[in-house]
Structure 1
Amino acid sequence: MRWRLPCGHDACRTPRPHLPRRATLAGLVVAVSLNSGCIATGPRQWIRNGFKVGPNYSRPPAPVAAEWIQAKDPRVQQAPPRDGDWWDVFQDPTLNSLIYRAYQQNPNLRSVGTLVIQSRAQQAIAVGNIFPQSQQLLGLYPYGNLARTRTHLEITAFNLSWELDFWGKYRRQVESANAQLDASVENYDAALVTLLADVATNYVQYRVAQQRIKIARDNLRTQEELVALAERQQKVGTATSLDVEQLRTLVEQTRSTIPSLEIARGQANDSLSILLGEPPHDLEPELGPGAELGSLPMPTTPASVAAGLPADLLRRRPDVRSAERLVAGQSAQIGVAEADLYPSISIGTVLGQQDIGIGSILKTSGGLTFIVPQFSWPILNYGRIVNNVHLQDARTQQLIATYQNTVLTAAQEVQTALRGFLRSQEQADDLARSAAAAVAATKIEERLFREVKADVNRLFTLENSKLQQQDQLAVAQGNIALNLINVYRALGGGWEFRLQGDGHSGAPITNTTTHPVPSGEPPAHGPFAVPRERPAAPVPGGLPEALPMSGPGPTVTPVSGARGAR
């Protein structure tokens, strides 16, 4: 299937016949329009485009469903997803603090932010190309001393050359640079979404490992007490050595599970340290021991989630918005390439002063003023120019397909996360009942064992089953939280965090404005807006505005308004 260009034509891909070599100048002008098909923009379209050749950008269609597959489940709400601080649903101040520290200190986030600075500089260069492209200051002071009569000639002149943007080539370049700048900001937001979700994921994994270690140690203490009781019973003849060794096997088996759990906790600890922008170190003094056994499961998770509608992904997910902005930037490159089909018109100006003297007889001075229109048309490069238009067209089609695939992938990730969130709740409920039954049965068997009425084989089985059920329950409760984090990650939540100013206001973000998907020039507000003003209070971990060079050198500053480098 072949996607249509934003201009709506498919004929751009057909080969074009070569121009006759003896074409007159007037014939060439007509031939450009007739021989180029839809490549050449007609006069009316050129005027409607704002005196720019090439297609005006319109957002390509995106395949989105009307609702989620799980929309009928009451736990999946169609209300707008929680913006910004979605991690508050866990009601954990420690997690909130880690999120803030990662936002402030993560070096990878700062690295992605420097790409925004680079895009700002490139956008400024594109704006500057609209203004006079060449300026020269010339000076000539020759003196003649070979003859008896001294002669001198002094000339001071300023030369300026300005290619008029008659076909909109430079304005299309600005459009492309603006879209690239938008995409770089969206990439920063995508990195922020990933960072915040990774911090929450590793924090949950750390807490789950803590809980599993506590469960193992609690069961280990109980089993050691049973071994001691069996040894006392052996001394009085109410238990055999086989009973003692069988229970001791259970103790060592339980003890052997703890090192692997400590490894899992250590991995989560080290990952958290790196995400915080800190060397790996023990975080337990900061994070604390976690919830006690028998208390509320850790972490606490809500039973439902607001997932919105699939169409919300087009304006919420930064990677989707970035892919759309790349299409817009590449679409403008078609107009840049098409502008080379037409003659370029330039104005050359020379302003200066000259003084001429021949001895003491003749002296004259006067001003120099030249205005020279220039005209160039690379008609012999016509084939290469047309193929360049085809190239930019094909690249646009590729990015359209990439954008549509990004939308599909985003929807798939949300569906997978929602399914995991709902099914993990059901699994945790089943395991909670199973673990409660195992605990009750084990308590009965332990009481019978103390009364010398129990079967050691059955006690061994029940103790082992209780440990497994409690451990699986802790994992299932953690999976609920992990799947909920994946839901918010897939929905693109968290990038609004940087809009809070200090990044840690403590109050939930209430901005739920529906942002339209941009078309043409980038808007001044919303997620597609290009932030060009430095905030009053810079955020250490926020979107960077300028980074100092090494040493006392200059800094790269953002573009203000429509002014660029000249």
Structure 2
Amino acid sequence: MTCSSNRRCRAPRVAAVALGTLLLGACAAGPDYRGPPKVDTGHGWTQPDTAAPAPASLPTWWTTLGDPTLERLVATALADNLDLRQAQARIAEERALRDRTAGGHAPTVGAGASVTRRRQSKNGPLPIGAIPGLARDQTIHDAGFDAAWEIDLFGATRRAVEGAEARLQAAQDDAAGVRISIAAEVARSYLSLRGAQRELAAREASVQALAQTADLVGQRFRAGDAAQADVDAAQARLDAASAGLPAIQARARAAALGLGVLLGAPPERELALLDTAAAPITLAPIPVGQRADILRRRPDVRAAERRLAARTADIGVATAELFPKLSIGASGGFQALDASQLFDSASQRFSLMPLISWRVFDGGRVRAEIRASEAREQQAALAYEKAVLTALGDAERALGDYRLGVEAVRLQRTALDAARRSYAHAQARYAAGDIALTDLLAEERVLRDAEDGYARTHTAAAIDLVALFKALGGGWDADAGDADTRGQEKVGARSPARQEQPPHG
């Protein structure tokens, strides 16, 4: 087949080149991300009666404890905590990096103007003296622009934007994790403070009972009814009980100081809490939903999945280096030796330069970088699997600790009720003259010890409750995010995290 004219032959070739460029531009090098590997989450919780739907108040679980002071502390911490503010700054950084990467799709254009005064050599390669009308001294006036655009033929920029977007989402999930940790730490510190106060009150009552016993033994010793050994033994018990008071006071003060720092304030801000008291928290079984729900609520799992998506995109960025790059450069403007003629039509200048570059040989560095990116993706996939299993382990452990903690509180409460009944009987017998005062004080010491044990056990169970809420991902609204679009709830048998495709489309 022959063409009747060059113009008629050239038109199909131009169309074919344009069509090929569009097709290439629609492809992206490297694998497409198809979601995280599927992880076997087992067949339900190992603890009984935990599969009921999780409470709707999980995002603000601390409000269910019925303590306005705790609600105030958590709200202040979530507004002013420095760790959370740092996490928010990291989100702003990642968003800016994403926007900078997305800017690679657009051409860069720069404008400038200059005035250059120069003197050329008569002995140089240009024979200035032999060219009539060409002065040796010149003033060049120049104004114009320069533009450059690298066409994203093989999707390197597109993959880079995908990775930057995934890293931004991971930073957002990290901030959610910080929020959860802050709420839990504030509650833990506050409950530790209140528990120490109740333990201190019980211990002080026990010390008071021991002091009465020691005083009574001293009176009997002076009356000749007790030996010195009895006095020493009573005083030893009193001193031992009194020695434990400073440690409890120190724990309460340390918790109050820690609250101040958590609230982004000087540590002494909440010391006034030491002079107030709060009602005890009612402990009850907490429904937790299905095991797979953990993967949607836990920000660390979501962040691990986003980092896997970013690493998959990085493979495409590295793979695109195997193929040619097409750049288009253009410049234009005005140039004249006389400033009055700078913007005349005769002073116009323009240039257009398409450029194709291709790393034909580089000693295997590109392919080595591709292999390194694939290895980093594999590490991210394993990190995701570990995050899933760690989340399930945290939840299982927290469930067990809280269930056993509630049982311990029940048993300790039974012991406390028995001690109170026994002390009431002793009081009645003492009033009837059937027992001595030392016997009554001994029963009171048993009661105070039971109160002390109950306070410590209740505090431990309350802190276990905080750990359970944290393990469940409570403290932020997972439904407000984009978990459904990320596909990170997919669990079951293992599967690849990405789908391979030819590097060029």
TM-score for both structures, normalised by structure 2: 0.80
Alpha-carbon spacing, 1:375–1:450, altered in 2? closer, same or farther (3 Å): same
Counterpart Cα distance in 1 of 2:372 and 2:23: 25
Match of 1:41 in 2: none
Match of 1:114 in 2: 89
Alpha-carbon spacing, 1:408–1:396, altered in 2? closer, same or farther (3 Å): same
Aligned mate of 1:290, from 270, 277, 297: 277
> Per-residue deviation at 1:466?
3.2
> Per-residue deviation at 1:418?
0.7
CA contact 1:427–1:476 (8 Å) conserved in 2: yes
1:440-479 residue pairs with structure 2 within 5 A? 440-445=421-426, 448=429, 453-454=434-435, 462-479=443-460
Counterpart Cα distance in 1 of 2:411 and 2:23: 68
> Per-residue deviation at 1:445?
4.0
Alpha-carbon spacing, 1:424–1:287, altered in 2? closer, same or farther (3 Å): same
Alpha-carbon spacing, 1:433–1:224, altered in 2? closer, same or farther (3 Å): same
1:376 aligns with 2:357: yes
Alpha-carbon spacing, 1:348–1:47, altered in 2? closer, same or farther (3 Å): closer
Aligned mate of 2:167, from 177, 180, 192: 180
1:400-411 residue pairs with structure 2 within 5 A? 400-411=381-392
Structure 1 counterpart of 2:32, which letter? N
Structure 2 counterpart of 1:518, which letter? R
Greater helix proportion? 2
Alpha-carbon spacing, 1:393–1:85, altered in 2? closer, same or farther (3 Å): same
CA contact 2:312–2:377 (8 Å) conserved in 1: yes
Counterpart Cα distance in 1 of 2:368 and 2:109: 29
> Per-residue deviation at 1:214?
0.3
Count residues in correspondence: 452
Match of 1:59 in 2: 35
- CA-based RMSD: 3.4
Counterpart Cα distance in 1 of 2:119 and 2:204: 103
Aligned mate of 2:242, from 251, 255, 258: 255
CA contact 1:52–1:335 (8 Å) conserved in 2: yes
Alpha-carbon spacing, 1:230–1:52, altered in 2? closer, same or farther (3 Å): same
Counterpart Cα distance in 1 of 2:345 and 2:267: 80
CA contact 1:106–1:277 (8 Å) conserved in 2: yes
Counterpart Cα distance in 1 of 2:45 and 2:287: 12
CA contact 1:81–1:307 (8 Å) conserved in 2: no
Counterpart Cα distance in 2 of 1:513 and 1:339: 32
Secondary structure of residue in 1 paired with 2:147 = strand
Counterpart Cα distance in 2 of 1:315 and 1:517: 11
CA contact 1:160–1:348 (8 Å) conserved in 2: yes
Counterpart Cα distance in 1 of 2:110 and 2:212: 91
Counterpart Cα distance in 2 of 1:327 and 1:132: 30
1:96-111 residue pairs with structure 2 within 5 A? 96-111=71-86
Alpha-carbon spacing, 1:47–1:422, altered in 2? closer, same or farther (3 Å): farther
Structure 2 counterpart of 1:339, which letter? A
1:335-346 residue pairs with structure 2 within 5 A? 335-346=316-327
Counterpart Cα distance in 2 of 1:381 and 1:150: 47
Question: Which deviates more from structure 2 when the two are superposed, residues 58-67 or residues 203-212?
Answer: 58-67
Counterpart Cα distance in 2 of 1:376 and 1:48: 16
Aligned mate of 1:349, from 330, 340, 351: 330
Structure 1 counterpart of 2:266, which letter? P
Question: Which deviates more from structure 2 when the two are superposed, residues 469-478 or residues 321-330?
Answer: 469-478
Match of 1:398 in 2: 379
Aligned mate of 1:314, from 295, 298, 323: 295
CA contact 1:106–1:275 (8 Å) conserved in 2: yes
1:196-211 residue pairs with structure 2 within 5 A? 196-211=183-198
Secondary structure of residue in 2 paired with 1:379 = coil
Structure 2, unaligned runs of 5 or more: 1-19, 121-127, 339-343, 489-505
Match of 1:192 in 2: 179
Percent sequence identity is 27
Aligned mate of 2:62, from 80, 83, 87: 87
Structure 2 counterpart of 1:213, which letter? L
Counterpart Cα distance in 2 of 1:443 and 1:80: 42
Indicate the structure whose relative CO is greater, using CA pairs within 8 Å and at least 6 residues apart.
2
Structure 1, unaligned runs of 5 or more: 1-43, 292-297, 358-362, 500-510, 521-566
Match of 1:69 in 2: 46
Structure 2 counterpart of 1:252, which letter? D
> Per-residue deviation at 1:254?
2.1
> Per-residue deviation at 1:351?
1.9
1:328 aligns with 2:315: no
> Per-residue deviation at 1:86?
0.5
CA contact 1:136–1:159 (8 Å) conserved in 2: yes
Counterpart Cα distance in 2 of 1:514 and 1:433: 48
CA contact 2:58–2:469 (8 Å) conserved in 1: no
Aligned mate of 1:160, from 119, 122, 147: 147
1:483 aligns with 2:468: no
Match of 2:17 in 1: none
Question: Which deviates more from structure 2 when the two are superposed, residues 304-313 or residues 218-227?
Answer: 218-227
Secondary structure of residue in 2 paired with 1:310 = coil
TM-score for both structures, normalised by structure 1: 0.72
What are the superposed Cα offsets for residues 319-348 of structure 1, whole Å, 9 maximum, x if unpaired? 111111111111111111111111001111
> Per-residue deviation at 1:197?
0.4
Alpha-carbon spacing, 1:334–1:282, altered in 2? closer, same or farther (3 Å): closer
1:419 aligns with 2:371: no
Match of 1:126 in 2: 101
CA contact 2:203–2:449 (8 Å) conserved in 1: no
Aligned mate of 2:251, from 264, 269, 273: 264
Question: Which deviates more from structure 2 when the two are superposed, residues 427-436 or residues 100-109?
Answer: 100-109
1:438 aligns with 2:419: yes
CA contact 1:57–1:331 (8 Å) conserved in 2: yes
